[in-house]
Structure 1
Amino acid sequence: MTPTIIQHVTYPNLGWDTAADLYLPPDFNAAKRHPAIVSTHPIGSCKEQTAGNIYAKGLAEKGFVVLVHDASFQGASGGKPRFIEDPSIRVSDIRFAVDYLQSLPYVDENRIGAIGVCGGGAYTIHAGITDHRLRALVSVTGVNYGRLIREGFAQFKPLEFSESMAGMRTAEALGGSRHVVDLLPASVEAGNQAGITDIDVLEATDYYKTARGRQPNGATRQLMSFSSAAMGWDAFLNAEVLLTQPLMVVIGDKAGGFGAFRDGWEIYGRAASKDKHIVVAEGWSHYDLYDKPEPVAIAMTRIVPFFRENL
């Protein structure tokens, strides 16, 4: 079979350019109009990792045009300072991706959907709540970053964490260095030595810090002094009223500290969508769904017909 075509593209964002990879089907015909999908990467990730080389590639092989972008301030996309993780801008990135797809003559502007992994899954859901150009939504092991930063990142002390970030931001405003942190230990061994037992942290490290998933722009770094923007954010806000598109939520049942299992069931329950589905990959974890063939196959077996039916 002819291999999937990948085109490297850039397009305007708020005040900088977004870098993205456009995955085209093996039998791509520019004279036809195709359904298209925006694929959004996890927090600390990049377009070359799971949202791109697994899900975008897999969907393109099934006939979809798929655009996977680097988040603003991250990867090859523009924006300064670097390594900002601001949920409102991450969702805005998805809207700009839709703009770009709608500008392409071979994309049917009325048949655009979205998929996201981990934090990108919840960003995708929030984008669908607020932008109904997105006709169908898939969240793969999606994590509500607002909840996560108030709980796990803050060690369940959100007020103290907010005050800490305020102090960082003040110090930077007065000329201090940026507070960029690595979200993960340097290796699984280092994590074990530090007493980390949570499977999500250890499995994330195995994915991002080894040849399994490592990519040059998959930095797993965050400008923590700018992360206060997430403290009052909720990926699922107004889902009971505004989330009406067809929705598919994919989770593993081996729950870890990042909370994808609980977030998946929450949004499945809250969504106003009449056509909604939850897919539980039994015996598999959050990071298994990033790239391991068997759980990815469980997901894709449901995702592909879902998009074919709704786009």
Structure 2
Amino acid sequence: MKIRIKSLTTSLLCLSLIIPGVAFAAKKQAWDKIFTKSDKVDHEKVSYKNRFGITVSADKYQPKGLDKSQKHPAIVIGTPYGGVKEQGAGIYAQAMAERGFVTIAFDESYNGESGGKPRRVSSPDIFVEDFSAGVDYLGSLAFVDRDRIGAIGICGSGAFAITAAQVDHRIKAIATASMYDMSRFMRNGWKDGMTDEQRNKTLDQLAVQRWKDVDGRTPELTPAFPSKPVDKIPEGLDPITSEFFEYYAMKRGHHPNSIAAFTKTSAMSFMNFPLMDHIKSISPRPILFIMGEKAHSRYFTEDAYTMAAEPKELYIVPGARHIDLYDRIDMIPFDKLTSFFTKALK
């Protein structure tokens, strides 16, 4: 089935001084997630600074009745590209807390409830840093073992988690689910089909857009999904765009903080910032790659798995599409994730 590059690009792009890592708890708020709150965990909204001085907002989950006199393993969890912590990342964080881990699901800088201006910037460098800032925060907790911290990245954050681990040896184990390499996609196009001529035309358009942003003083955003959930997928969308629409624009995954749009000129950073170039250097720390059998994105995971050094493992979820590993708790292999991190963070 033929995929229109323009539509896919739109869906994906649409898709006090405090020491870094030292946090303060935010005020308690009403439950604002797309999933049901578990009675097996304690939840708290927290905030902390990354090394750029941007305040990162996160949800912390921990097993109810956690013995804080002991040291426990912890996991920092990133969102799908364009998503927020109240969606898929929160589902993973809560589920792994139920299984004994201290976890945080965070909003990337400039997005969701995290700080940073202008809003809706997408930055590979800063999004990678946000994983390390999460490690900073978890390691500041007296009941977390600094030598037993791992990371989970979903969709675009899968590549961010791996890239962070290339230089941050404090991340002892990494798992990805439905991974997307956004730098590869933006520079090379879908399945590396972008020609040099097409790339240069895109860069010409981005150059014009930068002047528009300068003159307008407010950066323009890529098209966003509807601000309120809709009941059906519009006709005429290609299969991949339809899949993302199903999640972000319909009741299944819609959240008001997730408009799945970024500043148009954010693409320039990704085209100039390759991710995962040093993935082999993560060894001997283990990587678990999880992908759906029917995921349109599986080539990103397959190629990253090939590039990675041992120890590594590829886990394929039968029948799962790309977005199914965002929220389908009957498909997300939490038992596999639990056994992987239990062994890796022992």
Q: Does the alignment reach a TM-score above 0.5?
A: yes
Aligned equivalent of 2:280: 240
| 2:172 aligned with 1:135 | yes
Q: Pick the structure with more helix per residue.
A: 1
Shift of 1:16: 2.5
Shift of 1:217: 1.1
SS in 1 for 2:241: helix
Distance in 2 (CA, whole Å) between partners of 1:106 and 1:145 is: 35
What is the letter of the counterpart of residue 48 of structure 1? E
Q: Deviations over 1:174-199 (max 9, x none)?
A: 3354211235578685542xx2222x
150-159 vs 280-289, greater mean Cα deviation: 150-159
Shift in CA distance, 83/243, structure 1 to aligned 2, threshold 3 Å:
farther
SS in 1 for 2:86: coil
Aligned equivalent of 1:275: 311
Q: Where does 1:14-163 land on structure 2 (aligned, <5 Å)? A: 14-52=52-90, 54-150=91-187, 151-152=189-190, 156=194, 157-163=198-204
What is the letter of the counterpart of residue 307 of structure 1? F
Aligned partner (choices 165, 168, 171) of residue 212 of structure 2: 171
Aligned equivalent of 1:7: 44
Aligned equivalent of 1:252: 292
Distance in 2 (CA, whole Å) between partners of 1:159 and 1:188 is: 39
What is the letter of the counterpart of residue 87 of structure 1? P
Q: Pick the structure with more strand per residue.
A: 1
Shift in CA distance, 70/133, structure 1 to aligned 2, threshold 3 Å:
same
Q: TM-score, normalised by structure 2?
A: 0.82
Structure 2: runs of 5 or more not aligned = 1-37
Aligned equivalent of 2:29: none
Shift in CA distance, 188/130, structure 1 to aligned 2, threshold 3 Å:
farther
Shift of 1:67: 1.1
SS in 1 for 2:104: strand
Aligned partner (choices 278, 286, 295) of residue 331 of structure 2: 295
What is the letter of the counterpart of residue 315 of structure 2? V
Q: Is the 8 A contact 2:174 2:288 kept in 1?
A: yes
Q: Is the 8 A contact 2:41 2:62 kept in 1?
A: yes
Shift in CA distance, 175/291, structure 1 to aligned 2, threshold 3 Å:
closer
What is the letter of the counterpart of residue 289 of structure 1? L
Shift in CA distance, 212/6, structure 1 to aligned 2, threshold 3 Å:
same
Deviating above 6 A after TM superposition, structure 1's stretches of 4 or more consecutive aligned residues are none
Distance in 2 (CA, whole Å) between partners of 1:268 and 1:252 is: 14
Shift in CA distance, 190/61, structure 1 to aligned 2, threshold 3 Å:
closer
What is the letter of the counterpart of residue 305 of structure 1? S
Task: Give the RMSD, CA atoms, in angstroms.
Answer: 2.1
Shift of 1:22: 0.5
Structure 1: runs of 5 or more not aligned = none
What is the letter of the counterpart of residue 24 of structure 1? Q
Shift of 1:152: 3.9
Shift in CA distance, 44/154, structure 1 to aligned 2, threshold 3 Å:
farther
Aligned equivalent of 1:226: 266
Distance in 2 (CA, whole Å) between partners of 1:143 and 1:84 is: 18
SS in 1 for 2:303: helix
Aligned equivalent of 2:322: 286
Distance in 1 (CA, whole Å) between partners of 2:211 and 2:151 is: 37
Aligned equivalent of 1:215: 255
| 2:332 aligned with 1:308 | no
Q: Is the 8 A contact 1:73 1:83 kept in 2?
A: yes
105-114 vs 237-246, greater mean Cα deviation: 237-246
Distance in 1 (CA, whole Å) between partners of 2:224 and 2:315 is: 28
Q: Is the 8 A contact 2:223 2:261 kept in 1?
A: yes
Q: Is the 8 A contact 1:244 1:271 kept in 2?
A: no
Q: TM-score, normalised by structure 1?
A: 0.91
What is the letter of the counterpart of residue 233 of structure 1? F
SS in 2 for 1:147: helix
Distance in 1 (CA, whole Å) between partners of 2:281 and 2:212 is: 41
Shift of 1:153: 11
Shift of 1:97: 0.8
